[in-house]
Amino acid sequence: MIEMLNGVLPTVIYSLLVILIILLIVICIKVLIAMKKVENIITDVEEKISILNKVFGIVDLVTDKLAIVTESVSDTLLSFIKNFIKNRKKRKELQESEEE
């Protein structure tokens, strides 16, 4: 009986090891295929992000230019209003001084 186990047991263990190695090879191949798909997805996402970065760069440039124009227009309007108020006060003072 022991001699039979000594002959059968190693063959069972070796066959199980062969099956395990085959399963590990299949799993590794599937992981490599999945990694290739993930790499393709990441590459696609990076390309789309670079396009979006260009678009956001253009939007940023336009908003900066608009901010400069808006600031200059508002400064001009403010100075015009200040001058108008000053001139109005001067006219009132002149009218008051002429009336006296």
Residue-wise pLDDT tens digits, 48-68: 999 999 999 999 999 999 999
Q: How far is CA 20 from CA 6, 15, 24, 68, 85, in A?
A: 22, 9, 6, 70, 92
pLDDT number for residue 66: 95
pLDDT number for residue 100: 63
- pLDDT, tens only, 82-95: 998 888 888 877 77
What's the maximum distance between 2 C-alpha atoms anywhere in the chain?
139
- pLDDT, tens only, 2-57: 788 788 888 999 999 999 999 999 999 999 999 999 999 999 999 999 999 999 99
**Which pTM was predicted?**
0.54
pLDDT number for residue 94: 76
